[in-house]
């Protein structure tokens, strides 16, 4: 997912959209653009340099792919890992210190690892 998300970012997609598009491509979710369109509203820190759209998209993705309890568990794990690495969820702060492409790649890679592990456990 990481490489796909990176490519989508440089094709001009927003941070959250890159995550959703990469997951849709890798996991053949068949989203038909609905979730990708919806997450576009989260761009640029929800339009006010607030919450970064990349972790927000990961959380939406978990909710789309898994039942409520699994999505909640994955969400907490993801947010803890993201916060331990970056210490913030603020778009403006992350953009300034890390750059969007690094955040996107980390979020996509971490989500991919968690999704893959969960899907293996469900077999």
Tell me: the pLDDT tens digits for 40-54? 766 665 666 778 889
Residue 77, C-beta contacts closer than 8 angstroms, at least 6 positions apart: 114
> Quick check: pTM over 0.75?
yes
Positive/negative CA dihedral, 75, 121, 69, 57: positive
Give the C-alpha separation, 10 to 93, whole Å.
Answer: 21
pLDDT in tens, the chain (123 residues): 999 999 999 999 999 999 999 999 999 999 988 888 787 766 665 666 778 889 999 999 999 999 999 999 999 999 999 999 999 998 889 989 999 999 999 999 999 999 999 999 986
Residue 55: both structure tokens together:
């972790």
Mean pLDDT of the chain: 91
Give the C-alpha separation, 24 to 14, whole Å.
Answer: 15
- Token pair 């568990």: residue: 73
Asked if 62 contacts 74 with a C-beta cutoff of 8 angstroms, the reply is: yes
Give the C-alpha separation, 100 to 102, whole Å.
Answer: 5
pLDDT of residue 47: 60
């Amino acid at each position: 997912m990481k490489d796909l998300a990176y490519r989508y970012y440089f094709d001009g997609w927003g941070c959250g959209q890159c995550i959703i598009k990469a997951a849709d491509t890798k996991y053949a979710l068949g989203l038909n653009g609905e979730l990708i369109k919806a997450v576009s509203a989260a761009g640029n820190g929800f339009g006010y340099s607030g919450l970064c759209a990349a972790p927000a998209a990961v959380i939406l993705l978990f909710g789309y792919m898994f039942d409520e309890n699994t999505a909640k568990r994955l969400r907490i794990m993801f947010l803890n890992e993201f916060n331990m690495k970056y210490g913030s969820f603020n778009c403006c702060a992350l953009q300034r210190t890390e750059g969007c492409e690094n955040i996107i790649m980390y979020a996509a890679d971490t989500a991919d690892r968690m999704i893959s592990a969960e899907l293996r456990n469900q077999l």
